[in-house]
Structure 1
């Protein structure tokens, strides 16, 4: 009986010690897990953004604001390095590198994006947008967002639109009405729709590399060209072409986009963060563009350029109606969305 009691006592002691040790083991295990949780932080990310414009250009100012907002929203975890002035290549090569995932972000004009998504052709159709407000109503609407998302098939993710103003005609010859365009040789970007535009307005389309426009104006190979105000200013074309008619025939935005390869590596939280930062940067970029346009307008006035603002755009619209009709038949939903966005 005594032996049994001793055995039971010993067994009880062993069980007690085992329970204590097990409990200590569990505590230690929890502590280790907690330790590991504290040590594991989300990795820092550094991404590159390419822009072919100089550092003080409105699009680069927008890029830099975007990078700043991403850093703020991620508490410094995500860094975006902005490379202006074509440091990472010209627009075409940058687009290729974005598709390959070699460059993470790029700011690209909407026109060449038509090569990857036909819907972007809409920005080359003349006089579809009656004002800047009309354009931005469309860009900020459902169809505008669909255009950005539609770039995924080309291995890019559109994030936001930046302002690039409107394009108008300028010439070495008097240019104060639609009649003055007749017979003039106007440099245009190489595209079927631009050539049709010139034919509809009675002018002669002359495709030519942008870098040759100044000498073309000097030598009389061309009479004029078309572009936005800051480009007319910064290119010094106004030194030769002293007549500008503000017809605003096209309004072509810029697009801030990301490589789909880089996009898909992000968590859903970081995707939302980057998308929102891009949208939040638009206000800064648009203000920078407005300031730049005002500065350019002052430069042109000081240089003695005759500037004519078209008050009645209806004759211009009537002249190009066949172009618009052809586009409307091919893209009825897109044109309907544009018409619905009219203020």
Structure 2
């Protein structure tokens, strides 16, 4: 009798079969890569603030959530202090296809959408909640759609803080400031904001601001309390803050739209969800920080605080804004966008 033996399967083919099955699972179910394997998407998160600023903590939170929600398939390195370039340079870099996320005011993206400047127009929004309703509603969608046509994708917007006037000397109305020079971000709307506040605008990127203040190139800044303290601007002789609250800064994070569109759908979803989580985290952090700073800044840093209860004439500032800013930019914004501001008020 003849006995038939089956040829044994070689161990190598068993290994290949196992690896093929694992690859199928990874692709089909989005399982996390194992230890030591590179992430599928590697990005750098660029911002101009120091590591002590709340925005840096927000960015770290965003990076951690993106990693968690993607099962390790997204890796984000947070790069502070303008190391990858200033506000405009980082946005332009993202537009050119560099794998970075640029965290910068919406108005810095004005080259890609004229409508973006409305987000940073002085006295346009009454509260941070008003700004949030507008951004996440139909008005915001108009702006983000325009920006996408220019090649940028907004991932999320987070409350960066409330812009106030920080100067070497106090005043209560725009007419009090004479020709004091104000550092402004490199965006056209910011120069008009400065003029409406009675100041002479000098565009300077944020990483260069401390040196410009020390050298007397400018006499003040309009930044948030967190930025003022984290950047140590009190050391440069700024001894007065006027609580104009002229901008509730809802700062967007942008990346290249083509790069975003090329990501797997589940990774796009993870990135957007991480952005929403980071925005919620940052709002509480920023609100608490601003309140605490303004309570103690006189005792801690010798900065005098001038608010409406001290005679600060907010009506005069708002009147200037209507005459100087809105008449200049309303053609860029269009009536439909302005109507959305009113609807969400």
Q: TM-score range by the shorter chain?
A: 0.7 to 0.9
Q: Give the match for residue 256 of structure 1.
A: 253
Separation (CA, whole Å) in 2 of partners of 1:75 and 1:203: 50
Matched, 1:100 2:103: no
Q: Give the match for residue 286 of structure 2.
A: 289
Q: Check conservation: 1:176, 1:308, Cα contact below 8 A.
A: yes
What TM-score, normalized by structure 2, do the two folds share? 0.77
Q: Give the match for residue 241 of structure 1.
A: 238
Separation (CA, whole Å) in 2 of partners of 1:209 and 1:274: 28
Q: Check conservation: 2:88, 2:109, Cα contact below 8 A.
A: no
- The 3 A distance-change label for structure 1 pair 276 and 217 is closer
Matched, 1:130 2:126: yes
Separation (CA, whole Å) in 1 of partners of 2:307 and 2:171: 11
1:47-66 maps to which residues of 2 (within 5 A)? 47-52=42-47, 53-66=49-62
Q: Check conservation: 1:126, 1:324, Cα contact below 8 A.
A: no
- The 3 A distance-change label for structure 1 pair 214 and 81 is closer
Q: Check conservation: 1:187, 1:213, Cα contact below 8 A.
A: no
Separation (CA, whole Å) in 2 of partners of 1:78 and 1:212: 32
Q: Check conservation: 1:199, 1:205, Cα contact below 8 A.
A: yes
- The 3 A distance-change label for structure 1 pair 206 and 155 is closer
Q: Give the match for residue 344 of structure 2.
A: 341
Q: Deviation per CA, 1:148-178, whole angstroms, max 9, x where unpaired?
A: 3432223221110011212222222232344
What TM-score, normalized by structure 1, do the two folds share? 0.77
- The 3 A distance-change label for structure 1 pair 57 and 234 is closer
Alpha-carbon offset, residue 262 of structure 1: 2.1
Q: Deviation per CA, 1:90-128, whole angstroms, max 9, x where unpaired?
A: 434433332233324232232311121111111332211
Q: Check conservation: 2:170, 2:242, Cα contact below 8 A.
A: no
Q: Give the match for residue 297 of structure 2.
A: 300
Matched, 1:160 2:156: yes
CA RMSD of aligned residues (A): 3.0
Q: Give the match for residue 316 of structure 2.
A: 315
**Larger helix share, 1 or 2:** 1
Separation (CA, whole Å) in 1 of partners of 2:267 and 2:229: 39
Alpha-carbon offset, residue 301 of structure 1: 1.9
In the alignment of these two chains, the number of paired residues is: 310
Give 5+ residue unaligned stretches, structure 2.
Answer: 1-15, 28-32, 34-38
Q: Check conservation: 1:244, 1:308, Cα contact below 8 A.
A: yes
Alpha-carbon offset, residue 86 of structure 1: 3.5
- The 3 A distance-change label for structure 1 pair 209 and 187 is farther
| 4+ runs deviating over 6 angstroms | 32-35
Instruction: Tell me the secondary structure at the aligned position of residue 126 of structure 2.
Output: coil
Q: Deviation per CA, 1:2-40, whole angstroms, max 9, x where unpaired?
A: xxxxxxxxxxxxxxxxxxxxxxxxxxxxxx999844542
Alpha-carbon offset, residue 242 of structure 1: 1.6
- The 3 A distance-change label for structure 1 pair 58 and 148 is farther
Separation (CA, whole Å) in 2 of partners of 1:121 and 1:285: 23
Q: Deviation per CA, 1:214-268, whole angstroms, max 9, x where unpaired?
A: 5665676654332221222233333412221111222332212222232122222
Structure of greater Rg = 1
- The 3 A distance-change label for structure 1 pair 270 and 92 is same
Q: Check conservation: 2:173, 2:314, Cα contact below 8 A.
A: no
Q: Check conservation: 2:99, 2:256, Cα contact below 8 A.
A: yes
Instruction: Tell me the secondary structure at the aligned position of residue 159 of structure 1.
Output: strand
Separation (CA, whole Å) in 2 of partners of 1:191 and 1:81: 27
Give 5+ residue unaligned stretches, structure 1.
Answer: 1-31
